[in-house]
Amino acid sequence: MLDCIVIGAGPGGLVCTKELLEQGLREVVCLEQARDVGGVFANTYDSLVLTSSATMSMFSDFWLGDGNQHLFWTKEEAVDYWKRYAKHFGVLDRIRFNSKVVAVVPQESEGWQVSLASGETLLSKRVALAIGNNTIPKYPAWKDLLTDVEYSHSKEYRNADRFAGKNVLVVGGGESGSDVALEASRVANKCWVSLRNTTGWVAPRKRGIYAADISTHRGVWGLPRDYGAALSEAIDRAELSQNDLVHDTADGETQRSPKFLVSCGSF
Ligand SMILES: Cc1cc2nc3c(=O)[nH]c(=O)nc-3n(C[C@H](O)[C@H](O)[C@H](O)COP(=O)(O)OP(=O)(O)OC[C@H]3O[C@@H](n4cnc5c(N)ncnc54)[C@H](O)[C@@H]3O)c2cc1C
Ligand SMILES: NC(=O)c1ccc[n+]([C@@H]2O[C@H](COP(=O)([O-])OP(=O)(O)OC[C@H]3O[C@@H](n4cnc5c(N)ncnc54)[C@H](OP(=O)(O)O)[C@@H]3O)[C@@H](O)[C@H]2O)c1
């Protein structure tokens, strides 16, 4: 019987496996349905650039060094980092890829029976779920009413090629919606964004040369708008006073409204 099975080799599963090994558990296996590490980052759109800076995306015990902290990784850079992390801490050897878990059943005496899609079963004293919260697409209830419109979910999105010359409606103004709308609008005939509530906060990636999330975080950007209105004004004033490029329009005038809406209120 194994000491622990970790399900999922995204960032969460890698950290979990590493910590279990460091706690002295010997028989630890990480089961991953995909062919590689990286979780959602390995399976998302081509142009993805993380919204968290390298400082916020790195682990304190695997720091890549000064000079890198204000970068925003591409998905390839992020996956490369997780891979190096996994290799460095001996986690990579513990991962079984192409191993989709289909059932986890508690055993009467002790532990859990874990069944794989291949039909194989494993027994383990403990199970850690690290299957992520962004792996299952959430469709609106009215999806099935869309009989004469082509539709897709951002989980399937890779690039804007299929939108070339078309009229595109992006539903939702979270970070996925914002990224997709920006790319689609460059090739579409027309592109709209539909928001059922308000826009979120417009949070710049950088303030000058500094990654903005080093000095703020989503605790600030996720505040309800009513409550956060005063704070928003103060942040806006502080940013404008720094003359950052993010506030400059083409003709050099400072603008207060964004070209694209970025909602950071996903928590
Ligand atoms: C497009 C996009 C961009 C994002 N950008 C950022 C960002 O910039 N910064 C940030 O902090 N967060 C970002 N996130 C949020 C991101 O999802 C989480 O930060 C991160 O993925 C959490 O890691 P995780 O290991 O918990 O989950 P995941 O990365 O989702 O990993 C879960 C893993 O479990 C595996 N799995 C699931 N079910 C099974 C099963 N039954 N059997 C075997 N394996 C299974 C999956 O294949 C996957 O590899 C982004 C999310 C998306 C969708
Ligand atoms: N570049 C990046 O790093 C990047 C890119 C994409 C995603 N992410 C991360 O991935 C996670 C998920 O982000 P996400 O943008 O995919 O999801 P999200 O933050 O949950 O945003 C979903 C959006 O869809 C809207 N919506 C949901 N159901 C709807 C419905 N039935 N009708 C109309 N609108 C509806 C929501 O509106 P309401 O606000 O009204 O609920 C919201 O605007 C977040 O952690 C995010 O940070 C990061």
Instruction: Give the angle 81-122-9 at the CA atoms, nearest 5°.
Output: 10
Q: Nearest-CA neighbor of 82 among 17, 31, 141, 28?
A: 17
Structure tokens at 23: 């706690």
Question: Which residues form the domain of 229?
Answer: 206-240
Q: Are 12 and 125 members of one domain?
A: yes
Ligand 1 atom nearest to 57, measured from its CA: 11
pTM: 0.86
- Residues with CB under 6 Å of ligand 2 are 48-51, 134, 140, 154, 171-177, 179, 196-197, 263, 266
Give the pLDDT band of residue 79 (cuts 50, 70, 90).
Answer: very high
**pLDDT of amino acid 142:** 86
Contact 55, 39 (CB under 8 A): no
Q: Are 78 and 101 members of one domain?
A: yes
Going by the DSSP 8-state scheme, the letter that residue 242 receives in this structure is T
Q: Are 193 and 156 members of one domain?
A: yes
Q: Are 188 and 256 members of one domain?
A: yes
User: Which of the listed residues 74, 95, 129 is the one where a domain comes to its end?
Assistant: 129
No. of H helices and E strands in the chain?
A: 6, 10
User: Which of the listed residues 83, 99, 129 is the one where a domain comes to its end?
Assistant: 129
Contact 247, 207 (CB under 8 A): no
**pLDDT of amino acid 229:** 64
Q: What are 111-140's pLDDT values in tens digits?
A: 999 999 999 999 999 999 999 998 888 888
Nearest CA to ligand 2 atom 25: 172
Q: Tell me the three-class secondary structure of 74-105, residue by residue.
A: EHHHHHHHHHHHHHHCCCHHHEECCCCEEEEE
Q: Are 19 and 112 members of one domain?
A: yes
Q: What are 170-185's pLDDT values in tens digits?
A: 998 888 999 999 999 9
Q: Are 55 and 144 members of one domain?
A: no
Cα 39 to ligand 1 centroid, rounded to whole Å: 4
**pLDDT of amino acid 219:** 66
User: Measured between alpha carbons, how far is 29 from 27 in angstroms, rounded to an integer?
Assistant: 7
Q: Are 146 and 260 members of one domain?
A: yes
Q: Which of 169, 175, 182 should be mutated for ligand 2, with most atoms under 8 A from CB?
A: 175
Going by the DSSP 8-state scheme, the letter that residue 250 receives in this structure is T
Q: Are 229 and 254 members of one domain?
A: no
Q: Are 152 and 71 members of one domain?
A: no
- Cβ-Cβ contacts under 8 Å for 41 (sequence gap 6 or more): 10, 11, 48, 50, 75, 78, 79, 82
Cα 9 to ligand 1 centroid, rounded to whole Å: 9
The CATH number assigned to the domain holding 88 equals 3.50.50.60
Exposure on the CB side of residue 232, measured as CA atoms within 13 A: 15
Give the pLDDT band of residue 198 (cuts 50, 70, 90).
Answer: confident
Q: Which residue has the higher pLDDT, 225 or 87?
A: 87
Least confident of 6-10, 19-23, 82-86, 230-234: 230-234
User: Measured between alpha carbons, how far is 90 from 84 in angstroms, rounded to an integer?
Assistant: 10
Taking residues 215-231, report their average pLDDT.
Answer: 66
Q: Are 9 and 122 members of one domain?
A: yes
What is the tally of structural domains in the chain? Answer: 3
Burial 6-35, CB ≥16 within 10 A → b, else e: bbbbbbbbbbbbbebbeeeeeebbbbbbbe
- Placement of tokens 């910590």 in the chain: 19
Q: Are 89 and 17 members of one domain?
A: yes
Cα 256 to ligand 1 centroid, rounded to whole Å: 33
User: Which of the listed residues 104, 129, 154 is the one where a domain comes to its end?
Assistant: 129
Q: Are 33 and 8 members of one domain?
A: yes
